[in-house]
Structure 1
């Protein structure tokens, strides 16, 4: 041991790989004690030879390489998260063969990086097992993993499988949360781990043959985690940290169904839907918001350009939008444009994937603003110009206050309700004889059904009644609202408390009975995120992105489910964002063929 310390080791240099299917595998040497230095050897193998290895899926965390791995008689510097994972995975009595992106790929070689990223789908799908490392555990994460295991056991029982007793299981979940109020906090602590936020893990687990999730000393099979998430899906008062991981579950299930049934045709718009959901995941490299799905697209038969980090971000995003439209024969990808200026100068019809907190979408399915006909589109100038067939039906005359950005904090609701009060005043002024409750029923109805599996109309009348009761008070402080917390459970004691029940997103474990208006308010907070209410020249009322402005036109386009706010830019047009325009969402304004014209967008 002392002689090793006396001889300084040189930094490790990757050697060039020999074949198109070559990868490196880390042979991690065993150690009896956890504090012993990490030692290993990188071995070149070919995927064609079916090598035996496990693939690591983890979040890099800080990219500073502050720890050491003794590798091939040299020193290779690794990140702290990687170092932690290797210490956890190292065996005591035999070597372990691992594939780890930050170690096995020469990150300094753009050529190798491009090629290996293109192989990553195959690397994870061929691995004997994928090991997900969430980081060091604590009391909360240990409790969360044990709870998820118990849910998975219940959800996989023969009784539930044959009798489909979903409601029985839901009651059990609720009962446990009632008995132990810390359960939700523990689940949040687990799902707040950075791994769930990153874009690469979506593909890594979806393509795995077998996968286990590790957090500290605790572990859970991926199948069990996914089954427990399916059961938690119906417990609608769980937090956003839990609901955001359902994208992992959807992609995991999608690949398995595609693999099990060769003739199965996956959702016709799944390429667009996958790319739109990818925006909410994080990546240090903006190009990875697209490249991280290359293996998934390959598995699902979608022809996508090979990863190439020498291309500009704008070019990569344009290629992604082009593939989404042409592969799906759908314009759904347009639902992701927001009008917000981006850092990479993307075209107006291309979503900005670099923004992980985009303005919330207006729901695409269930609407047919552009008629129930296929899209009519054509690309020009090396796929930079997009021509659609449609008609401009109206122009924006006036906008109102912008609804605040969605967040979890209680005090933000005060500003939100003040915006809603302003909207109500404008609506009643310009919409004589029209029903505002009906407007919000229609606006959030499809999302209400989707979020709460409730076919009844949302409780707009009760919600509006609470809005009308609200009296804006500039002297109201957060402390004053917190003093009214108890009124949530006994709203009849106080009319003010009744409004709090309806309007404020109380972070309680068990929502009180009769909270339909509260649920509606929670849903609307997300649907109205950074949107404004507008009035059109023809007297229409709608909701759209904060970046629309008076003078913008409203267009309907063949095959485009949503009305689009558009803006003339010299010769061509620019998309601003989709909009909800009451009365035109189901094709009632779609004209006959003779009225259609061509609109070319940059």
Structure 2
């Protein structure tokens, strides 16, 4: 696992940690910018990327981690070398655990800004919060459920609340049961867990399945190009093998 830290000159360095030798860290959850605007592993390795829009999220995460007394932090866009297929597969299958083990998870909402109270005393940002694109993406389901500490921030870095204080709003927006938001995933059936991401979007169709792996505690080899339906069948096969009775055939998951 690679983690970021800030250098004295304001730049960022990557350090690789192995096994159980991983220090406390913060982790970022966000909606990706256009592909050419996210800072990549190659950018940081070559001391580039500061002109990209996504760089501000790294700066935000660094400053917030420092406020929380954390030296290290993790951002998916640049802490994974996505040109290395083996590393990418390991990262995707480890993602749920990495979010779960984080000391802090920061949700950066690029489409929410803070404002003063209106006449009705409702916070102006709450409407934008409920409509945020972050709640429509497939990968952010596990990023919401895995960590115990999840703090939500506006695009200008102002804290809006956390998973506890915004629990009711998050439940209403996502349809995810409060008990699941509190981390008790084992109390829910496979079909219930699948529905948490059923209406969410991913850029690559197979990721509609791969983003569920941690939620089901399943490890699967990634086969990009296999298609969503085939990936769902492989996931269902794995779940069936682990269960003494079938949770349902493939028609429960997809239209075969």
The answer to whether the superposition gives a TM-score over 0.5 is yes
Going from structure 1 to structure 2, the CA distance change for 1:336 and 1:122 (only over 3 Å counts) comes to: closer
Distance, in Å, in 1 between the alignment partners of 2:248 and 2:45 is 52
Aligned equivalents of 2:38 and 2:78: distance in 1?
14
Contact 2:111 2:132 in 1 (8 A): no
**Counterpart position of 1:201:** 140
Report the alpha carbon displacement of residue 189 of structure 1 after superposing the two structures with TM.
Answer: 1.3
Alpha-carbon distance change, 196 to 27 in structure 1, aligned in 2, over 3 angstroms: same
The answer for the alignment partner of 2:5 in structure 1 is 27
CA deviation vs aligned residue, 1:307-326 (integer Å, no higher than 9, x gap)? 41346124212213444566
> Alpha-carbon deviation of 1:99?
0.7
* 8 A Cα contact 1:54 1:99, kept in partner: yes
Q: Superposition pairs for residues 219-238 of structure 1, below 5 Å?
A: 219=159, 220-226=161-167, 228-229=168-169
- Tell me the CA shift for residue 274 of structure 1: 1.7
Which residue number in structure 2 is paired with residue 100 of structure 1? Answer: 75
Task: Give the counterpart of 1:119 among 91, 94, 112.
Answer: 94
Q: 1:46 to 1:245 in 2, by over 3 A?
A: same
The normalised TM-score by structure 1 is 0.36
Distance 1:52 1:187 in 2: 31
Q: For structure 2, which runs of at least 5 residues remain unmatched after alignment?
A: none
Task: Pick 1 or 2: higher relative contact order, CA cutoff 8 A, min separation 6.
Answer: 2
Kindly indicate whether the alpha-carbon contact (under 8 Å) linking 2:138 and 2:202 is maintained by their aligned counterparts in 1: yes
**Unaligned ranges ≥5, structure 1:** 1-22, 32-37, 147-176, 234-242, 259-264, 299-303, 338-347, 350-602
- What residue number does 1:318 align with? 233
Q: Per the alignment, in what secondary structure is the counterpart of residue 46 of structure 1? A: coil
**TM-score scaled by structure 2?**
0.79
Give distance in 1, aligned partners of 2:174 and 2:105: 18
- Per the alignment, residue 129 of structure 2 pairs with 190
Partners of 2:124 and 2:144 lie apart in 1 by: 25
User: Cα offset for 1:90?
Assistant: 3.5
Structure number having the greater strand percentage: 1
Question: Is the Cα contact below 8 Å between 2:138 and 2:197 reproduced in 1?
Answer: yes
Residue 244 (structure 1) aligns with = 173
Residues 280 and 272 of structure 1, relative CA distance in 2, 3 Å threshold: same
The equivalent position to 2:248 in structure 1, one of 306, 331, 336, is 331
- Is structure 2 residue 147 aligned with structure 1 residue 218? no
Instruction: Determine if contact 1:137/1:217 at 8 Å carries over to the other structure.
Output: no
Q: Deviations over 1:539-593 (max 9, x none)?
A: xxxxxxxxxxxxxxxxxxxxxxxxxxxxxxxxxxxxxxxxxxxxxxxxxxxxxxx
SS in 1 for 2:11: strand
Extract structure 1 runs of 4+ deviating beyond 6 A: 66-70
1:217-242: CA deviations, max 9, x gaps?
3211221111x327xx7xxxxxxxxx
